[in-house]
Structure 1
Amino acid sequence: MEVKVTRASKTGTRPKDEDLGFGTVFTDHMFVMDYKEGQGWCDARIEPYGTFSVSPAAMVLHYGQAVFEGLKAYKTESGKVQLFRARDNFARMNRSAKGLCIPGIDVDFVMDALKKLVKIEKDWIPETMGTSLYIRPFMFATDPYLGVRAAHTYRFFIILSPVGSYYAQGLQPVKIWVCEDHVRAVRGGVGEFKTPGNYAASLLAGEKAKEEGYNQVLWLDGIELKYIEEVGAMNIFFVINDELVTPVLNGSILPGITRYSVIDLAKKWGMKVSERKISIDEVLAAHDNGTLKEVFGSGTAAVVSPVGEIRYKDRVINIGDGNPGETCMKFYNALTAIQYGQAEDTEGWIEFVE
Structure 2
Amino acid sequence: MSKTQSLKFAHHPNPAPVPADKRAALLANPGFGRVFSDHMVTIRYSDADGWHDARVEPRGPISMDPAAAVLHYAQEIFEGLKAYKTADGATLFRPRENARRFQQSAERLAMPVLPEELFLEAVDRLVSIDRAWIPDGDGSLYIRPFMFANEIFLGVKPSSNYLFAVIASSVGSYFKSAADAVSVWVSQEYTRAAPGGTGAAKCGGNYAASLLAQAEATRHGCDQVVFLDAVERKWIEELGGMNVFFVFNDGSLSTPPLGGTILPGVTRSSLITLARDKGIAVREERYSYDQWRADAGSGRLREAFACGTAAVVTPIGTVRAPEGEFKIGNGGSGARTEELKSALVDIQRCRAPDPHHWIHKVF
TM-score tier by shorter-chain length is: over 0.9
Amino acid at match of 2:184: I
Spell out, residue by residue over 1:320-348, the C-alpha distance to the aligned partner (whole angstroms, 9 max, x if none): 32431111111111111111111111111
**Residue 250 (1) aligns with residue 256 (2):** no
Instruction: Select which of 194, 198, 201 maps to 1:190.
Output: 198
**Residue 278 (1) aligns with residue 287 (2):** yes
- Say if 2:89 and 2:131, in contact at 8 Å, map to a contact too: no
- Say if 2:84 and 2:349, in contact at 8 Å, map to a contact too: yes
Q: CA deviation at 1:108?
A: 1.0
**Residue 4 (1) aligns with residue 13 (2):** no
Q: CA deviation at 1:319?
A: 1.3
Q: How many residues align?
A: 352
- The residue number in structure 2 matching 1:71 is 81
Instruction: Select which of 291, 304, 308 maps to 1:299.
Output: 308
- The residue number in structure 2 matching 1:106 is 115
Spell out, residue by residue over 1:126-158, the C-alpha distance to the aligned partner (whole angstroms, 9 max, x if none): 121x21000000000001111100000000000
1:38-57 to structure 2, matched below 5 A, reads 38-57=48-67
- Say if 2:299 and 2:329, in contact at 8 Å, map to a contact too: no
- Say if 1:218 and 1:232, in contact at 8 Å, map to a contact too: yes
- In the alignment, the residues of structure 2 paired with residue 93 and residue 249 of structure 1 have an alpha-carbon distance, to the nearest angstrom, of 17
- Say if 2:134 and 2:170, in contact at 8 Å, map to a contact too: yes
Instruction: Select which of 25, 31, 56 maps to 1:21.
Output: 31
Amino acid at match of 2:202: K
Greater CA drift, 330-339 or 155-164 = 330-339
Give SS of 1:73's match: strand
Greater CA drift, 335-344 or 92-101 = 335-344
Q: CA deviation at 1:170?
A: 5.1
- The residue number in structure 2 matching 1:261 is 270
Amino acid at match of 1:244: L
Give SS of 2:217's match: helix
- Say if 1:248 and 1:277, in contact at 8 Å, map to a contact too: yes
**Residue 203 (1) aligns with residue 211 (2):** yes
Amino acid at match of 1:258: T
**Residue 172 (1) aligns with residue 180 (2):** yes
Instruction: Select which of 324, 332, 353 maps to 1:344.
Output: 353
- Say if 1:171 and 1:324, in contact at 8 Å, map to a contact too: no
- In the alignment, the residues of structure 2 paired with residue 21 and residue 122 of structure 1 have an alpha-carbon distance, to the nearest angstrom, of 18
- In the alignment, the residues of structure 2 paired with residue 306 and residue 127 of structure 1 have an alpha-carbon distance, to the nearest angstrom, of 24
Stretches of structure 1 lacking an aligned partner (at least 5 in a row)? none
- In the alignment, the residues of structure 2 paired with residue 208 and residue 122 of structure 1 have an alpha-carbon distance, to the nearest angstrom, of 38
User: Percent identity at matched positions?
Assistant: 45
- In the alignment, the residues of structure 1 paired with residue 297 and residue 132 of structure 2 have an alpha-carbon distance, to the nearest angstrom, of 51
Stretches of structure 2 lacking an aligned partner (at least 5 in a row)? 1-6
Give SS of 2:212's match: helix
- The residue number in structure 2 matching 1:96 is 105
Amino acid at match of 1:110: F
Spell out, residue by residue over 1:79-114, the C-alpha distance to the aligned partner (whole angstroms, 9 max, x if none): 431000111001100000000001011111221232
- In the alignment, the residues of structure 1 paired with residue 77 and residue 274 of structure 2 have an alpha-carbon distance, to the nearest angstrom, of 28
TM-score, length of structure 1 as denominator length: 0.97
- The residue number in structure 2 matching 1:218 is 226
Spell out, residue by residue over 1:211-261, the C-alpha distance to the aligned partner (whole angstroms, 9 max, x if none): 110010000000110000000121000112222010001211000000001
Compute the RMSD of aligned alpha carbons.
1.2
- The residue number in structure 1 matching 2:4 is none
Q: CA deviation at 1:15?
A: 4.2
- Say if 1:73 and 1:132, in contact at 8 Å, map to a contact too: yes
Give SS of 1:156's match: strand
Greater CA drift, 242-251 or 252-261 = 242-251
- In the alignment, the residues of structure 1 paired with residue 127 and residue 203 of structure 2 have an alpha-carbon distance, to the nearest angstrom, of 24
- Say if 1:171 and 1:306, in contact at 8 Å, map to a contact too: no
Greater CA drift, 162-171 or 131-140 = 162-171
TM-score, length of structure 2 as denominator length: 0.95
Q: CA deviation at 1:168?
A: 1.7
Amino acid at match of 1:342: R
Q: CA deviation at 1:171?
A: 7.0
Instruction: Select which of 314, 339, 342 maps to 2:323.
Output: 314
- In the alignment, the residues of structure 1 paired with residue 178 and residue 132 of structure 2 have an alpha-carbon distance, to the nearest angstrom, of 24
- Say if 2:316 and 2:331, in contact at 8 Å, map to a contact too: no
Greater CA drift, 233-242 or 64-73 = 233-242
Q: CA deviation at 1:198?
A: 0.3
Give SS of 2:230's match: coil
